[in-house]
Chain A
């Protein structure tokens, strides 16, 4: 384990990259996870046109929803070249998630790519309540 960065820490995984995220509420946990993944992918700000997206997912449990949720944010970047600037959870239960995401087009003049994350894996994915907060472990394939 290493460097503390706001609401998440990086985990050492031999081939890939993992994070352990915390949040006061479940909604907060999911939002922090998205923020952490964006930080690990790209840095910098641009003033480009804001694109708004509604994300609706159904899942088997919270860990499944977490993997799918981060997968959606990753697809925005990889598939549509949009960098998420805000990710807000509107509704969350163990079987569904609704969220609102705002994103700006990737602009190489302002954005610097940090890691190419190929995918959000299910490997060791967890969402747990730890005392007064929630915690999640996610491993990315680089």
Chain B
């Protein structure tokens, strides 16, 4: 029983991270209809940036977190300006490949700036590494912090979308860009805001996660693919779906890793993706697609 509880908690924690990444992907996709394949690299790069601030420059954790989130936001805006805007009317292939190109530029830059292929940078934990006992469960405080932090961030963004004007404008644009233009919403600005927000969420996730694992330039893609799987599972345009999807994948991974074999951790996300896409391509909460001719 304890193993199960432990695995669930572990899965919940990583799941919360995947949920945040998925959220960032869905925010951008909902508004612009585009999947930003550089999303994982945004996550990675912001993480390294926070590392640089906190570890190399001695900036305290919380300010480093906020600066990294702001930095992430700007990276997102940069992607909007360099890749999305010039290609807004092109086909899917072009947009996907362009964001992939940017992903590689970011990855290469991180590698050049902060480490070669096998350098893994440690990020000091915020809380003491001493595990505490909750009931029968041995828990590392950092995990709880991640979970709590993720929940806080999700609530903040939920509030942002529901309560602020900008958030509502983003929803409107996502629903109907043309109509939004007609009521005076500056759709271009909203796209930029969406890219920035999506990236900011990724940055927050990175800084939350950094103390738990090591940073390395190739991590972007593996988190992206899991976030993407979570987003697809939840239906690419559903924000709550992204959260559910993320948690589901985190838990599935933990259970597979614990009960089957550790090597299954890597691959469960892919198996999930393949099954979901074949059985119900629009995900759990997505719309059922009808093609109009």
Verify that A and B bind, or say they do not.
no
Interface residues of A (CB under 8 A from B): none
